[in-house]
Structure 1
Amino acid sequence: MFENLAQAEAFLASRRHLGIKPGLHRVQQLLEASGNPERRMKTIHIAGTNGKGSTAAYIARALTANNWKAGSFTSPTPGGFLESIQVDGHWITEEAFVYECNSLLAVIEEMDGQDAHPSEFEIHVCIAFSYLAKHADISVIEAGMGGMGDATNVLQQPLLSIITNIGLDHQKFLGNTIADIASEKAGIMKAGAPVLSAATQEEAIDGLEAHAKAIGVPLNWVRAEDAERLQVHPKMRGPHQKLNAALAAEACRVLQGLGVALEEDKVRQAISQTQLPGRFELIDKEPEIILDGAHNSEGMAAFVKTVQANYPGKKIKVLFGAFLDKPFEQMLQQLHLITDEITLTTFNHERAADLETLTETFPGVHMTEKWSEWVDQAYAANLRDTVYFVTGSLHFIYQVRAYIVKN
């Protein structure tokens, strides 16, 4: 039994070596031992390559603003396990997290004995579902990676399914083409639950429409220009955030049609006030430092556009760290559209691209083993004509963020 949060977190961290394990049988076994909380939850299920976290946050805040107890499960987050599970913006308490973890321990040990080791993420999902089933009216659930084989896809009766967009990411697990990935993400669609999507590629649209038709659910498309029609003006910057906000506002309109009482003015106000850490976040003004989790090529394209729109004529310095399985060669080419002053680095995560790999791939490009030195130098120089950007993996962004906040 775990006596405190540190012990529970250490136990979960010790399972990271198991990696990503697509498939639902392990998470179903865990949930059965908890009395199947997923069957008692009202949920909005969100998958997609980018924009899941922002869209989820917009919807959760809109629900809270309308006096619903709004649960959310999203990862990764700067505050780790506790921040990832929230009701009305309040994190799960340490005591509740330890309780939920302890309640799963016997079945985890039993499964380990059967060589059916549940992964860190699978256990995390079960903790979240057990807690949210008890404390939330409606919960917004963000898929971890894919759709069909994602641990969150045990949800069989969501109110609404949302597929934000489709991009080439996690190809090792999801497939090598847009069509393959769309097919995987389409797995969150369920009979009886309407679907919204902001996917734009023809092959993604074809795949999603075919799946929706096969199970007989209505599929509606949301585009960036819908933000004006829906009168949503997000605080978070970038054209991609207008699209995420439009998706959230349209989701709220669909929920109204399903009997969820929501006032449109309160929905718009909630969206206009939402700010997530690490989404084009101004973390300091002197020097001007912005953090953005552009963790794949689609995210990087949105980041570059946002920089170009907001900082024309400014001198730009970038610190970049990414996971090994990301297309960092392409991402670096994208960064060169805004600056040549790019520093590559590594960070504390088993999936991080190490300096040796980066050196082999990008000979002659400036690198630093200690990203904290780059941050310290930015503060020491405090150049008024320069904007400092830290981008790449969200895990990396959150480590830098914690360092800046602490110091």
Structure 2
Amino acid sequence: MPPRTPQEALGFLAGLNPSGIKLGLERVREALAALGHPERRFPSLHVAGTNGKGSTCAFATAALRAAGHRVGLYTSPHLSCVNERFQVDGADISDEVLGQRILEVLARYPEAAHTPAPLTYFEFATVVALWHFAQEAVSVAVMETGLGGRLDATNTVSPLVTVITPVSFDHMEYLGNTLEAIAGEKAGILKPGVPAVISAQEPEAWQAILRRADPLGAPVLREDRDFSLEAQPDGTFTYRGPRYRPLEGLSLALRGPHQRQNAAVALAALEQLDARGLAVPAEAARVGLASARWPGRLEELGSRPAVVLDGAHNPAGMKVLLASLDALYPGRVLHAVFGVVGDKDRGPMMRGLFPRCASVHLTPLDSPRSLAPERYLHEAQALCGDVYAHASLDDALAGARAHAQAEDLVLCTGSLFLIGAIRSRLMRNLGAIQRQS
């Protein structure tokens, strides 16, 4: 029976398979047509890539809000609760409103409640997001792809500007086994005549993107050729691009050397939005870079020992994380809490991280895709001399803390499922301490 109340509607969404993936746009287009095409009621900034998508979206969203726009932000996956995926003006959607939006979608497209469900979890959530943004009368939506681009449910929007962040190996079972093939799928978001802001890429990825852009007549703005963000001796940054030139004395709210690239790409996208009629003054861009928030990415919670959370979940992300640790925590002794899903390329991540750790604490994840620690314990033991396979996340975190000295660092990484669960625990504990003080 279809849901009748907002609470039942939340249960309906949760009941869709969150791991189900069926690439293709026909089902989503049918649903959006039934809803009167909400995706056409506001302009969009559409962001694809392998790593850095979320941070780029966070920078762009903060700047657009600083410019006075009512901004919708759709990202995935969430860390702690699904409400995080649907933001308007920096606020997560409430349970009551999310449940109501689901009911509104089902009333106009009842086929979505059929068994088996025609839309996957991500597809249905995307439709709800677009409907929600239309009802909230946003002036712009920042849309992050789920995976790929060409056949991703978000590729039903008509963007003012598209963005492709660094492309690397991930989701190869869906996107292909070569960097060229993966980049080609990501470049599927490019549209005729729509400016495309592209981060620095490996040559194979860059050529694949150009092969998509050229026939479409999509103007391409390339990092380090058309725009750049340079670090200055005083710790600030200077941006040079087609419109904001130069923009000096910039500071970045998000930590890590890699955020320079994400901020540069966001600034170039904002310039293009401004050029296409969505006003984003340079000073709003400055405020956005200095005020952006993106939890679970090099986020430090607690002290003695400090606990650092980072959602690195593929080899390229781990490489970036390790470089950031060298820059932010030079010489600190590491104790890792590590969990991974079974379909990820864990080998390069482990080989990069584990030899640098004094101890490693493997944990299962709260996901049907979780890889049991016992399955790869032997691999971990070959890379670090002190490795433990724990039965629960709480045990793994406690184990890492017990092994760490006050000035050491407990690093939690390997999966966003892991980061979301640990962050929820730490924030609850922090809240309890604050209430008692």
Q: After alignment, is 275-284 or 255-264 more displaced?
A: 255-264
In structure 1, the partner of 2:215 is 214
Cα gap change, 1:212 to 1:284, in 2 (>3 Å): same
Matching of residues 94-105 of structure 1 within 5 Å: 94-105=95-106
Q: After alignment, is 57-66 or 383-392 more displaced?
A: 383-392
In structure 2, the partner of 1:65 is 66
In structure 1, the partner of 2:131 is 130
Which amino acid is the alignment partner of residue 174 of structure 1? L
Q: After alignment, is 89-98 or 218-227 more displaced?
A: 218-227
- Judge conservation of contact 1:146–1:174 (CA < 8 Å) in 2: yes
- Judge conservation of contact 1:304–1:337 (CA < 8 Å) in 2: no
Tell me how far 1:379 sits from its aligned partner.
5.2
Equivalent of 2:286 in 254, 261, 268: 268
Which amino acid is the alignment partner of residue 139 of structure 2? D
- Judge conservation of contact 2:18–2:121 (CA < 8 Å) in 1: no
Tell me how far 1:76 sits from its aligned partner.
1.6
Equivalent of 2:369 in 351, 369, 388: 351
- Judge conservation of contact 2:145–2:152 (CA < 8 Å) in 1: yes
Cα gap change, 1:66 to 1:113, in 2 (>3 Å): closer
Distance 1:369 1:51 in 2: 32
Which amino acid is the alignment partner of residue 226 of structure 1? L
Matching of residues 308-327 of structure 1 within 5 Å: 308-327=326-345
In structure 2, the partner of 1:392 is 414
- Judge conservation of contact 2:164–2:197 (CA < 8 Å) in 1: yes
- Judge conservation of contact 2:71–2:142 (CA < 8 Å) in 1: yes
Distance 1:54 1:279 in 2: 9
- SS of the equivalent of 1:181 reads helix
Distance 1:193 1:94 in 2: 36
Tell me how far 1:351 sits from its aligned partner.
1.6
State the aligned residue count.
406
- Judge conservation of contact 1:42–1:159 (CA < 8 Å) in 2: yes
* Length-normalised TM-score, structure 1: 0.94
Per-residue deviation, residues 324-377 of structure 1 (Å, max 9, x unmatched)? 111111100010353242222111011222234223654674221212123234
* Length-normalised TM-score, structure 2: 0.87
Distance 1:381 1:355 in 2: 19
In structure 1, the partner of 2:168 is 167
- Judge conservation of contact 1:69–1:88 (CA < 8 Å) in 2: yes
Distance 2:404 2:377 in 1: 28
- SS of the equivalent of 2:302 reads strand
- Judge conservation of contact 2:333–2:358 (CA < 8 Å) in 1: no
- Judge conservation of contact 1:50–1:298 (CA < 8 Å) in 2: yes
- Judge conservation of contact 1:249–1:268 (CA < 8 Å) in 2: no
Tell me how far 1:127 sits from its aligned partner.
0.5
Distance 1:374 1:81 in 2: 25
- Judge conservation of contact 2:61–2:288 (CA < 8 Å) in 1: no
Distance 1:363 1:383 in 2: 22
Cα gap change, 1:360 to 1:374, in 2 (>3 Å): closer
Tell me how far 1:92 sits from its aligned partner.
1.8
In structure 2, the partner of 1:336 is 354
Matching of residues 247-258 of structure 1 within 5 Å: 247-258=265-276
Which amino acid is the alignment partner of residue 38 of structure 1? E
Per-residue deviation, residues 11-48 of structure 1 (Å, max 9, x unmatched)? 22222177111101111121122111012121000000
Q: After alignment, is 343-352 or 46-55 more displaced?
A: 343-352
Per-residue deviation, residues 94-113 of structure 1 (Å, max 9, x unmatched)? 22211211123356653565
- Judge conservation of contact 1:51–1:164 (CA < 8 Å) in 2: yes
Which amino acid is the alignment partner of residue 143 of structure 2? I
Q: After alignment, is 233-242 or 50-59 more displaced?
A: 233-242
Distance 2:113 2:207 in 1: 41
What runs of 5+ residues in structure 1 fail to find an aligned partner?
Answer: none
Per-residue deviation, residues 105-159 of structure 1 (Å, max 9, x unmatched)? 356653565866211111100110001123210010000011001011111x200
**1:283 and 2:301 equivalent?**
yes
- Judge conservation of contact 2:336–2:361 (CA < 8 Å) in 1: yes
User: How many percent identity over aligned positions?
Assistant: 34
Cα gap change, 1:18 to 1:76, in 2 (>3 Å): closer
In structure 1, the partner of 2:75 is 74
Which amino acid is the alignment partner of residue 146 of structure 1? G
Cα gap change, 1:381 to 1:320, in 2 (>3 Å): closer
Distance 1:373 1:89 in 2: 34
* Cα RMSD after superposing both structures: 2.1
